[in-house]
Protein backbone atom coordinates (compact mmCIF):
# COMPACT_ATOMS: atom_id res chain seq x y z
CA UNK A 1 0.00 0.00 0.00
CA UNK A 2 1.01 3.59 -0.45
CA UNK A 3 -0.58 6.95 0.00
CA UNK A 4 -2.43 8.42 -3.02
CA UNK A 5 -0.09 10.47 -5.14
CA UNK A 6 -0.73 14.17 -5.42
CA UNK A 7 0.08 16.37 -8.38
CA UNK A 8 3.80 16.99 -8.54
CA UNK A 9 5.64 19.67 -10.48
CA UNK A 10 8.30 18.78 -13.03
CA UNK A 11 11.10 20.15 -10.85
CA UNK A 12 10.26 17.79 -7.99
CA UNK A 13 9.98 14.87 -10.38
CA UNK A 14 13.39 15.65 -11.84
CA UNK A 15 14.86 15.77 -8.33
CA UNK A 16 13.72 12.23 -7.64
CA UNK A 17 14.84 11.13 -11.09
CA UNK A 18 18.30 12.56 -10.52
CA UNK A 19 18.73 10.53 -7.35
CA UNK A 20 17.60 7.37 -9.10
CA UNK A 21 19.85 7.83 -12.16
CA UNK A 22 23.18 6.87 -10.63
CA UNK A 23 25.32 3.78 -11.22
CA UNK A 24 24.19 1.06 -8.83
CA UNK A 25 25.44 -2.33 -7.74
CA UNK A 26 23.19 -4.89 -6.08
CA UNK A 27 23.78 -6.30 -2.62
CA UNK A 28 21.65 -9.14 -1.30
CA UNK A 29 19.60 -8.88 1.88
CA UNK A 30 19.09 -12.46 2.96
CA UNK A 31 17.26 -14.60 0.41
CA UNK A 32 15.65 -12.28 -2.11
CA UNK A 33 14.58 -15.22 -4.24
CA UNK A 34 15.48 -16.30 -7.75
CA UNK A 35 14.43 -14.55 -10.93
CA UNK A 36 10.90 -15.69 -11.82
CA UNK A 37 10.61 -17.18 -15.29
CA UNK A 38 7.92 -17.75 -17.86
CA UNK A 39 7.03 -21.12 -19.41
CA UNK A 40 9.55 -20.51 -22.23
CA UNK A 41 12.37 -19.84 -19.75
CA UNK A 42 12.58 -16.06 -20.19
CA UNK A 43 12.76 -13.82 -17.11
CA UNK A 44 9.25 -12.78 -16.13
CA UNK A 45 9.25 -8.99 -15.72
CA UNK A 46 5.55 -8.80 -14.86
CA UNK A 47 4.93 -6.70 -11.77
CA UNK A 48 4.70 -3.21 -10.31
CA UNK A 49 8.00 -1.43 -9.66
CA UNK A 50 9.32 1.72 -8.02
CA UNK A 51 12.57 3.48 -8.87
CA UNK A 52 14.43 2.86 -5.63
CA UNK A 53 17.42 1.07 -4.16
CA UNK A 54 15.38 -0.24 -1.23
CA UNK A 55 13.77 -3.67 -1.18
CA UNK A 56 10.39 -4.43 0.39
CA UNK A 57 7.43 -2.09 0.74
CA UNK A 58 6.98 1.30 -0.91
CA UNK A 59 9.96 3.57 -0.28
CA UNK A 60 8.76 6.88 1.15
CA UNK A 61 12.24 8.20 1.96
CA UNK A 62 13.24 11.55 0.56
CA UNK A 63 16.76 11.62 -0.95
CA UNK A 64 18.27 13.23 2.17
CA UNK A 65 17.83 15.99 4.70
CA UNK A 66 20.88 17.75 3.24
CA UNK A 67 20.96 19.20 -0.28
CA UNK A 68 23.13 17.14 -2.59
CA UNK A 69 23.76 14.38 -0.05
CA UNK A 70 22.04 11.03 -0.75
CA UNK A 71 20.26 9.35 2.14
CA UNK A 72 22.04 6.42 3.77
CA UNK A 73 20.73 3.00 2.84
CA UNK A 74 20.71 -0.02 5.16
CA UNK A 75 22.84 -3.04 4.34
CA UNK A 76 21.11 -5.27 1.84
CA UNK A 77 19.73 -2.54 -0.39
CA UNK A 78 21.27 -1.73 -3.75
CA UNK A 79 24.05 0.70 -2.94
CA UNK A 80 25.54 3.47 -5.08
CA UNK A 81 29.06 2.68 -6.24
CA UNK A 82 30.21 6.25 -5.63
CA UNK A 83 30.80 6.92 -9.31
CA UNK A 84 29.17 10.06 -10.70
CA UNK A 85 27.25 9.97 -13.97
CA UNK A 86 29.35 11.04 -16.93
CA UNK A 87 28.94 14.65 -18.13
CA UNK A 88 26.37 15.18 -20.85
CA UNK A 89 28.29 15.09 -24.19
CA UNK A 90 26.62 18.14 -25.73
CA UNK A 91 27.51 19.58 -29.10
CA UNK A 92 28.56 23.26 -28.74
CA UNK A 93 25.16 24.48 -29.95
CA UNK A 94 23.25 22.11 -27.67
CA UNK A 95 25.41 23.08 -24.70
CA UNK A 96 24.59 26.76 -25.25
CA UNK A 97 20.88 25.97 -25.37
CA UNK A 98 21.17 23.81 -22.25
CA UNK A 99 22.81 26.67 -20.37
CA UNK A 100 20.02 29.01 -21.42
CA UNK A 101 17.44 26.49 -20.15
CA UNK A 102 19.22 26.15 -16.82
CA UNK A 103 19.58 29.91 -16.54
CA UNK A 104 15.79 30.14 -16.80
CA UNK A 105 15.52 27.39 -14.16
CA UNK A 106 13.71 25.10 -16.63
CA UNK A 107 10.45 27.06 -16.41
CA UNK A 108 9.83 26.28 -20.10
CA UNK A 109 9.75 22.54 -19.42
CA UNK A 110 6.91 21.03 -21.53
CA UNK A 111 6.04 18.80 -18.56
CA UNK A 112 4.59 21.97 -17.02
CA UNK A 113 1.94 21.83 -19.75
CA UNK A 114 1.31 18.13 -19.04
CA UNK A 115 2.72 17.00 -22.38
CA UNK A 116 3.78 13.33 -22.53
CA UNK A 117 7.37 12.56 -21.63
CA UNK A 118 9.90 10.04 -23.00
CA UNK A 119 10.25 6.86 -20.96
CA UNK A 120 13.85 7.43 -19.70
CA UNK A 121 12.52 10.52 -17.96
CA UNK A 122 9.43 8.85 -16.46
CA UNK A 123 10.91 5.51 -15.40
CA UNK A 124 13.27 6.80 -12.65
CA UNK A 125 10.71 9.08 -10.98
CA UNK A 126 10.38 7.41 -7.58
CA UNK A 127 7.10 9.14 -6.73
CA UNK A 128 5.15 7.02 -9.23
CA UNK A 129 5.12 3.27 -9.93
CA UNK A 130 5.60 1.53 -13.27
CA UNK A 131 3.71 -1.66 -14.14
CA UNK A 132 4.95 -4.27 -16.63
CA UNK A 133 2.71 -6.89 -18.23
CA UNK A 134 4.69 -9.47 -20.21
CA UNK A 135 3.47 -11.95 -22.81
CA UNK A 136 5.46 -13.90 -25.44
CA UNK A 137 4.18 -11.60 -28.20
CA UNK A 138 4.42 -8.20 -26.51
CA UNK A 139 5.37 -6.31 -23.38
CA UNK A 140 3.04 -3.61 -22.04
CA UNK A 141 4.38 -0.87 -19.76
CA UNK A 142 2.04 1.35 -17.77
CA UNK A 143 3.19 4.59 -16.15
CA UNK A 144 1.25 6.30 -13.38
CA UNK A 145 3.32 9.43 -14.01
CA UNK A 146 1.45 11.33 -16.76
CA UNK A 147 -0.89 8.28 -17.02
CA UNK A 148 0.95 6.94 -20.08
CA UNK A 149 1.37 3.48 -21.57
CA UNK A 150 3.20 1.75 -24.40
CA UNK A 151 2.86 -1.61 -26.15
CA UNK A 152 6.17 -3.15 -27.24
CA UNK A 153 5.87 -5.91 -29.87
CA UNK A 154 8.54 -8.59 -29.58
CA UNK A 155 10.63 -9.25 -32.67
CA UNK A 156 10.16 -7.89 -36.15
CA UNK A 157 11.36 -4.54 -37.44
CA UNK A 158 10.32 -0.93 -37.34
CA UNK A 159 7.35 -0.16 -39.63
CA UNK A 160 7.69 2.09 -42.65
CA UNK A 161 4.84 4.41 -41.62
CA UNK A 162 6.18 5.65 -38.29
CA UNK A 163 4.61 8.89 -37.11
CA UNK A 164 6.72 11.06 -34.77
CA UNK A 165 5.61 10.53 -31.17
CA UNK A 166 6.57 11.64 -27.67
CA UNK A 167 7.43 8.06 -26.69
CA UNK A 168 8.74 6.99 -30.09
CA UNK A 169 8.05 3.63 -31.71
CA UNK A 170 9.38 0.59 -29.85
CA UNK A 171 10.44 -2.91 -30.88
CA UNK A 172 11.60 -5.46 -28.29
CA UNK A 173 13.85 -8.51 -28.32
CA UNK A 174 15.68 -10.71 -25.85
CA UNK A 175 19.45 -10.78 -25.51
CA UNK A 176 19.98 -13.64 -23.07
CA UNK A 177 18.10 -12.64 -19.92
CA UNK A 178 17.91 -8.95 -20.85
CA UNK A 179 14.91 -7.34 -22.53
CA UNK A 180 16.20 -4.89 -25.14
CA UNK A 181 13.85 -2.20 -26.46
CA UNK A 182 14.87 -0.05 -29.43
CA UNK A 183 12.93 3.16 -30.03
CA UNK A 184 12.98 5.58 -32.96
CA UNK A 185 10.53 8.05 -34.47
CA UNK A 186 10.52 10.70 -31.74
CA UNK A 187 9.11 14.18 -31.88
CA UNK A 188 11.81 16.86 -31.67
CA UNK A 189 12.02 19.02 -28.56
CA UNK A 190 11.83 16.35 -25.83
CA UNK A 191 13.32 17.29 -22.45
CA UNK A 192 15.46 14.88 -20.41
CA UNK A 193 16.75 17.12 -17.64
CA UNK A 194 20.09 18.92 -17.29
CA UNK A 195 19.13 21.07 -20.26
CA UNK A 196 19.09 18.19 -22.76
CA UNK A 197 16.52 18.78 -25.50
CA UNK A 198 16.61 16.16 -28.25
CA UNK A 199 15.95 16.28 -31.99
CA UNK A 200 14.08 14.12 -34.50
CA UNK A 201 17.26 12.04 -34.90
CA UNK A 202 16.93 10.59 -31.41
CA UNK A 203 17.31 6.84 -30.95
CA UNK A 204 16.96 5.18 -27.54
CA UNK A 205 18.01 1.65 -26.64
CA UNK A 206 16.66 0.44 -23.29
CA UNK A 207 17.75 -2.64 -21.37
CA UNK A 208 15.76 -4.27 -18.57
CA UNK A 209 17.62 -6.93 -16.58
CA UNK A 210 15.95 -8.69 -13.65
CA UNK A 211 18.72 -9.42 -11.15
CA UNK A 212 16.64 -11.38 -8.64
CA UNK A 213 13.05 -11.56 -7.46
CA UNK A 214 13.04 -7.93 -6.30
CA UNK A 215 15.48 -5.97 -8.44
CA UNK A 216 15.15 -4.86 -12.06
CA UNK A 217 18.05 -2.87 -13.52
CA UNK A 218 17.22 -0.27 -16.14
CA UNK A 219 19.56 1.29 -18.70
CA UNK A 220 18.78 3.74 -21.50
CA UNK A 221 21.33 4.71 -24.15
CA UNK A 222 20.49 7.96 -25.96
CA UNK A 223 21.91 8.60 -29.44
CA UNK A 224 21.23 11.92 -31.13
CA UNK A 225 24.00 13.21 -33.42
CA UNK A 226 22.31 16.60 -33.72
CA UNK A 227 22.74 17.40 -30.01
CA UNK A 228 25.16 14.78 -28.58
CA UNK A 229 28.72 14.05 -29.66
CA UNK A 230 28.45 10.42 -28.51
CA UNK A 231 25.87 8.07 -26.95
CA UNK A 232 24.82 8.97 -23.42
CA UNK A 233 23.79 6.30 -20.90
CA UNK A 234 21.23 6.74 -18.11
CA UNK A 235 20.78 4.06 -15.43
CA UNK A 236 18.31 3.36 -12.66
CA UNK A 237 17.33 0.58 -10.28
CA UNK A 238 13.71 -0.54 -9.96
CA UNK A 239 12.37 -2.57 -7.05
CA UNK A 240 9.30 -4.83 -7.04
CA UNK A 241 6.35 -3.45 -5.03
CA UNK A 242 3.88 -6.31 -4.69
CA UNK A 243 1.32 -4.45 -2.56
CA UNK A 244 1.21 -1.46 -4.91
CA UNK A 245 -1.21 -0.64 -7.71
CA UNK A 246 -1.28 2.20 -10.20
CA UNK A 247 -3.68 5.03 -9.43
CA UNK A 248 -5.17 7.56 -11.79
CA UNK A 249 -2.96 10.61 -12.31
CA UNK A 250 -4.42 13.70 -13.95
CA UNK A 251 -1.72 16.24 -14.69
CA UNK A 252 -4.05 18.93 -16.00
CA UNK A 253 -6.31 18.89 -12.94
CA UNK A 254 -5.40 21.78 -10.65
CA UNK A 255 -2.26 22.47 -12.68
CA UNK A 256 -1.48 26.10 -11.89
CA UNK A 257 2.18 26.08 -12.95
CA UNK A 258 1.66 27.69 -16.40
CA UNK A 259 -0.25 30.66 -14.93
CA UNK A 260 2.37 31.11 -12.21
CA UNK A 261 5.25 31.05 -14.68
CA UNK A 262 3.52 33.59 -16.95
CA UNK A 263 3.40 36.05 -14.06
CA UNK A 264 7.05 35.64 -13.11
CA UNK A 265 9.41 38.53 -13.67
CA UNK A 266 12.34 37.07 -15.66
CA UNK A 267 14.76 39.44 -13.96
CA UNK A 268 13.90 37.81 -10.63
CA UNK A 269 14.09 34.10 -11.41
CA UNK A 270 16.66 34.06 -14.24
CA UNK A 271 20.03 32.70 -13.12
CA UNK A 272 23.28 34.20 -14.36
CA UNK A 273 26.27 31.90 -13.72
CA UNK A 274 29.66 33.50 -12.92
CA UNK A 275 31.57 34.49 -16.04
CA UNK A 276 28.52 35.11 -18.19
> In the predicted model, is pLDDT for residue 176 greater than 80?
yes
Which pLDDT band, with edges at 50, 70 and 90, does 27 fall under?
very low
Q: Select the more confidently predicted residue: 269 or 235.
A: 235
Topology at the third CATH level for domain 13-264: Lipocalin (2.40.128)
Residue 102 pLDDT: 86
Q: Select the more confidently predicted residue: 276 or 220.
A: 220
Residue 19 pLDDT: 44
Could you read off the pLDDT of 183-226 as tens digits, one per residue?
Answer: 999 999 999 988 999 999 999 999 999 999 999 999 999 999 99
Residue 72 pLDDT: 58
Residue 12 pLDDT: 47
SS (H, E, C) the chain: CCCCCCCCCHHHHHHHHHHHCCCEECCCCCCCCCCCECCCCCECCCEEEEECCCCCCCCCCCCCCCCCCCCCCCECECEECCCCCCCCCECHHHHHHHHHHHHCCCCCCHHHHCCCCCHHHHCCCCCCCEEEEECCCEEEEEECHHHEEEEEEECCCCCCCCCCECCCEEEEEEECCEEEEEEECECCCCECCCCCECCCCCEEEEEEEECCCCEEEEEEEEECCCCECCCEEEEEEEEECCCCCCCCCCCCCCCCHHHHHHHCCHHHHCCCCCCC
Compute CA distances 46 → 30, 91, 121, 155, 247, whole Å. Answer: 23, 39, 21, 19, 17
Could you read off the pLDDT of 45-101 as tens digits, one per residue?
Answer: 999 999 999 999 998 864 554 544 555 555 555 544 445 567 899 999 999 999 998
- Mean pLDDT calculated for residue range 139-151: 96
- Mean pLDDT calculated for residue range 143-165: 94
Mean of pLDDT over the chain: 83
Indicate the domain borders of the chain. Answer: 13-264
pTM check: above 0.85: no
- Mean pLDDT calculated for residue range 136-146: 96
> In the predicted model, is pLDDT for residue 266 greater than 70?
no
Least confident of 13-27, 128-142, 261-275: 13-27
Burial class (CB in 10 A: 0-12, 13-18, 19+), 202: buried
- Mean pLDDT calculated for residue range 104-110: 82
Could you read off the pLDDT of 226-263 as tens digits, one per residue?
Answer: 999 999 999 999 999 998 999 999 988 888 777 776 67
Count CA atoms closer than 13 A to 183's CA, side-chain side: 26
Residue 276 pLDDT: 56
Which pLDDT band, with edges at 50, 70 and 90, does 6 fall under?
very low
Amino acid sequence: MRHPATTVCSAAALLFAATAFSPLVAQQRGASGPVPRTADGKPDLTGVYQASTRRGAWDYDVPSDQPGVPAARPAGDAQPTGARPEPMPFTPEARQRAQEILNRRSVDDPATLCLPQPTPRMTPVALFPVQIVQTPQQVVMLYEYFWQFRVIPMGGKQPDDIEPAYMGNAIGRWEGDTLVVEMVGFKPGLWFGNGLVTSDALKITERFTRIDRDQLNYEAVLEDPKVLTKPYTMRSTLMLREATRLREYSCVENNVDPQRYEKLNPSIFTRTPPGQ
